[in-house]
Amino acid sequence: MVQTGLLFRSVVGGMGHYDLPLALKHSPVPKVEHFALLAGLEAAVRGMLVSAMPLAVYQSLGDAQMTSVAYLAAGFVALFCGLMVPGVTRFVPRRWTYTGGATLYLVGTALAVCGTPLTISLALICNAMATATVFICLNAYVLDYVERTRLGHSQGVQMAYAAIPWAVGPVLGVWLHHQWAPAPFLLSGFFALVLIGVFWWLRLGNGRQISRARRPAVNPLGFLSRFLRQPRLIAGWTFAVMRSCGWWVYIVYLPIYCVQSGLSDKTGGIVLSVSNTFLFLAPAINRAARRFSVRRSVRLAFLAGGGLMLAAAMLSVLPWVAVALCLAASFCFVTLDVVGGLPFLMSVKPSERTEMAAVYASFRDVSGILTPGIAWLILFFAPVPGIFIVAGLGLLGCWWIAGALHPRLGVERPSRGGGDQIS
């Protein structure tokens, strides 16, 4: 019997892992660092696009208002795409949905290389759809595998992993664009390939299947109605929309303001890279916010960010002062990136992860519609600093809304009784 056992172990050990069907193997439980790695690679894809694309669109279309129209169209398409993702994942496994979203990055960068007004506009749409799809799937994975009390830690680690790509990418994208216009798009496409490869290497599969729905599949309007009945989710989503609008103004309209004010067209990419170095502080910001309370941190970030954007508009006759004030406001945006999503993520029911992840992800697309749409109207009767004023007022409005957050939101408590709520 002993010899038989030894022989059995020897044969099994000698066969290696290739003898077992892949379906019988269990993927390792993903860790926070795995999701952070994916977030970092996506940041490498988007880091160069975020600075090179506005310049390419502005140069191709030749007008700030037409640039707003192009971004507005991309926002509408991406919003529709994002709302359709939960329905798609009922028929297409999540791993393939994520892969399809990442592949859209490849399509978008290929179109951007062509450089014509039509292909640049189509590239914007593809990249926006890719961002929405990948973001929804990644958040669904996070909600599947990360405990509720560790969501803040997960957000901080993701920001830390994305810090270098976001810090280097914008200035590198502008520099490459000046050397050879297609270069930033080609390099971004390469990182999209790496993202797809690493995703499959991590073997995340389709996430946890929680009591596979026996009820009929809901349409987007169905889960939107459930979202609208939950004030905590509405408040958290509103915060995400407004912080994203702040980033839109900073990323798209600050470089245009720099060019129109006589500064170098590289200025926007440089200050964006500098502001993204704040991401290295994400873990420290998360720890400080949890001690200070999420409510106070969110309110302070909105208040300071709104005040700085208004000051930048008032002092727009001094371009470098306005740029410095916007740079200071970007630290508030980074703080909101770290803790501003917690009111939403901590309130999602396990049975609604994919659906509510889609609702949450729509903040990018809604902000991508609101910001260029409002900017298009403002530019009829005011220069670009008028956009800074509206952004500042919107941030201050979220400061007021955040006053309704529960004072102990996100604070770890020994008792499990009661949940975080909007009072």
**Looking at residue 235, which CATH number applies to its domain?**
1.20.1250.20
Task: Write out the chain's pLDDT in tens, 423 residues.
Answer: 444 444 434 444 444 444 444 443 445 677 888 899 999 999 999 988 988 898 888 888 877 788 888 988 888 888 888 878 878 888 888 899 999 999 999 999 999 999 888 999 999 999 989 998 998 889 888 878 877 667 767 877 887 888 889 888 888 988 998 899 899 999 999 999 999 999 999 888 776 554 344 444 445 556 677 787 788 788 888 999 999 999 999 988 998 899 889 888 788 888 988 888 888 887 788 788 778 777 888 899 999 999 999 999 999 999 999 999 999 999 999 899 888 777 777 767 766 666 777 778 778 778 888 998 999 999 988 999 999 999 999 999 999 988 877 666 655 554 444 443 333
Q: Look at the block and give the residue holding tokens 């640049």.
A: 120
Residue 306 maps to a domain: yes
d(CA 321, CA 246): 18
Residue 230: predicted pLDDT: 80
End-to-end CA distance of the chain: 68
Distance CA 138, CA 353 (A): 11
Residue 226 lies in a domain: yes
Query: In this structure, is residue 22 part of a structural domain?
Result: no
Q: Please count the residues of the chain.
A: 423
Non-local CB neighbours of 72 within 8 Å, separated by 6+ positions: 368, 369, 372, 373, 376
Residue type, 215: R
pLDDT (0 to 100) of residue 10: 41
pLDDT score recorded for residue 147: 76
Measured on CA atoms in the order 19, 21, 22, 26, is the torsion positive or negative?
Answer: negative
Instruction: Specify if 413 maps to a domain.
Output: no
Coil vs helix vs strand at 109: helix
User: Token digits for 223?
Assistant: 């889960």
pLDDT on residue 413: 53
pLDDT of residue 140: 83
Tell me if residue 405 falls in helix, strand or coil: strand
The answer to whether residue 21 sits within a structural domain is no
422 - beta bridge partners? 405
Torsion angle of C-alpha atoms 262, 63, 49, 158, degrees rounded to 10: 80
- Residue 276 confidence (pLDDT): 82
| pTM, rounded to two decimals | 0.71
The rounded distance, in Å, linking the Cα atoms of 206 and 292 is 37
User: What letter does residue 29 receive in the DSSP assignment?
Assistant: P
Domain assignment present for residue 53? The answer is yes
What amino acid occupies position 83? L
Q: What local confidence, expressed as pLDDT, does residue 124 receive?
A: 92
Of 245, 273, 234, nearest to 333 by C-alpha is: 245
pLDDT recorded at residue 411 = 54
In the chain, the number of structural domains is: 1
Domain that holds residue 44: 29-207+218-404
Answer yes or no: are the C-beta atoms of 98 and 133 closer than 8 Å.
yes
Q: What is the pLDDT of residue 287?
A: 81
Count other C-beta atoms under 10 Å from residue 407's C-beta: 11
Closest CA to 355 of 137, 149, 151: 137
Query: In this structure, is residue 19 part of a structural domain?
Result: no
pLDDT on residue 64: 78
Q: Is residue 72 part of a domain?
A: yes
